[in-house]
Amino acid sequence: MPYLGENIKKLGFGLMRLPQKDNIIDIEQTKQMVDTFMAAGFTYFDTAWAYPGSEDAVRQALVERYPREKFQLATKNAAWINCETREQAIGQFETSLRQTGAGYFDFYLLHNLGEGRTRFFDDYDMWSFVQEKKRRA
């Protein structure tokens, strides 16, 4: 079975720190950046539930403006941020789908493993959650 990302160019567009205007994400400038990236033949975008405003920005600058089959989108789960239950951690997935409007994710990552954070993924059995999502894809 071929690797899912084998045809994706090796440069991705990270949406962690986007340009701001008056302390909010500058969507128009982000749209220009997305257009430039796509025009250069790149298609991989990376956002996260934990990046304030990023998933909304990717919806406006990418998802609402390009056919879904023309790009790959990754987002991330941060079970260690404000989650006290497995349901809250799993809820980040649906929140991310709603915020991005993407319909599906090409990649869903467990974010920032290590130090004291990995235990949240263990405690909430996020490993089983992502395996089940992959089986259903």
Residues 60-117 pLDDT 10s:
999 999 999 999 999 999 998 899 999 999 999 999 999 999 999 999 999 887 788 8
Phi-psi region of 12 (alpha: psi -120 to 50; beta: other; left: phi over 0): beta
Residues of the chain with pLDDT > 70: what percent? 96
Measured CA to CA, the distance from residue 3 to residue 1 in angstroms comes to 7
Q: Judge whether 4 lies within some domain.
A: no
**Cβ atoms of residues 37 and 80 within 8 Å:** no
Question: What's the pLDDT at 42?
Answer: 96
Question: What's the pLDDT at 2?
Answer: 54
pLDDT value at 50 more than 50 = yes
Domain that holds residue 130: 12-136
Q: Judge whether 5 lies within some domain.
A: no
**Domains in the chain, number:** 1
Q: Are strands 12-14 and 44-46 parallel, antiparallel or unpaired?
A: parallel
- CATH number of residue 128's parent domain: 3.20.20.100
